[in-house]
Structure 1
């Protein structure tokens, strides 16, 4: 496929899990992909190598989001690798502590919001001058903001609730430029982030619980989410903006 040929994409948190699947899919669609990573340089290099081995174009970019000046550092590095942007995927995020209200410290709270909410806000703010008219902004949200609340992930869900508001409001601001803004909301996906409670024989019941929550009777793979992002990045999605896309396989039905 080459429906994104000639376009440049930046995927934050693009070296592992859902982010890697997104990077690989956009590259397979013909985009040149800048793979952002925070700390795991080896994973970023591996993702770039996999894209290139498949005939795609990619490069890696490091910036530890959530720290003062990190958005500026990200775009300064980007400007040395590309001249303008067509697709921005705000995917980088952390789950943080798994604790109900009483167990979340102020430090935990601030760190979650710095990475999951503040970072995409300012990455996007500074990126808009680089994003070409007709571009795409795609944010990663979660099913936890719509009827799938979990007390032990209250702070995490709050960060993504803010992303949902950011998505719908920003869509109104940039629509005149032909830029669309949408949020993709996965449920549980089989990635390293969830490995601690999903993988291994001791977690068979948990895996079955996730599978049974979907009418499709299976657990999501990272490519399931990446394919939705690919659609939103393409011209086929040109009349969709400001939307929260349920990517749970029907688990919220």
Structure 2
């Protein structure tokens, strides 16, 4: 029996690393992307060394660049059974890509929204031809479910657009074999949340923040990866089209982060 093939964008940090580990442990063929740059390339190689290179491929992708998508599709081993749009930028990590607020606003949409749209458009024809496929989009509780005024408007807007994209794709392909899900994580212990929130806090401030969250703690990246893995199972088809609040209750009680 052929091994299923999953493509994971943003595979070298936070939730992405846990996704790569989980699908590799389950004997999937795993292709994952990393952003251009020597540091990211080294992290990708370290992850390959950890999980083993058999059936694994690390591919460079600038998610916000259309030509980079074209190069990815030229080098990617097809067919794909699953695509997980995990790559993204946040309120602080966007500063690595652009200096000014106006430029950063454009990066939010090119990386968080247009990148998943372009890649979905690239892979859906093959999924339709084979009669099956799964697409998972990673939005956020900020934008996908509710809003937090202290974060950048363009950040939340781009994540709200991801949730819309998930609904749009799900509706467009509802009568096909393609399942579409959108996951909206909350306060997750990732480098992105570290940069946007935790780095500015003392140890005591972090303790108080975590205690104030509805679940009393941060979400572990592996928890989100486990949810995504479940959504890729046949049993999850009853949820096809769903925009899932995976925030440990923050989405229904946003005032604590407001």
Residues 211 and 225 (structure 1), Cα distance of their counterparts in 2 relative to 1, 3 Å cut: farther
Name the residue aligned to 1:50: 50
What is the CA–CA distance in structure 2 between the aligned matches of 1:22 and 1:134, rounded to whole Å?
21
Of 30, 35, 45, 2:32 maps to 35
Moved more, 67-76 or 30-39: 67-76
User: TM-score scaled to structure 2, two decimals?
Assistant: 0.85
Per-residue displacement from partner, 1:51-90 (whole Å, max 9, x unpaired)?
228xx73210112121231221121121xxx230000001
Name the residue aligned to 1:94: 89
Structure 1 segments, 4+ long, off by >3 Å, are 96-99
- Structure 1 unaligned regions, length at least 5: none
Within-5 A mapping of 1:130-169: 130-131=126-127, 132-145=130-143, 146-169=145-168
What is the CA–CA distance in structure 2 between the aligned matches of 1:95 and 1:201, rounded to whole Å?
17
Q: After TM superposition, give the deviation of residue 98 of structure 1 in Å.
A: 8.8
Within-5 A mapping of 1:1-12: 6-12=3-9
SS of 1:139's partner is strand
Residues 182 and 243 in structure 1, CA contact (< 8 A), matched pair in contact too: yes
- Structure 2 unaligned regions, length at least 5: 95-99, 253-258
Within-5 A mapping of 1:146-225: 146-196=145-195, 197-198=197-198, 202-215=202-215, 217-225=216-224
Aligned residues: 241
Residues 149 and 177 (structure 1), Cα distance of their counterparts in 2 relative to 1, 3 Å cut: same
Residues 15 and 44 in structure 1, CA contact (< 8 A), matched pair in contact too: yes
CA RMSD, Structure 1 to Structure 2 (Å):
2.5
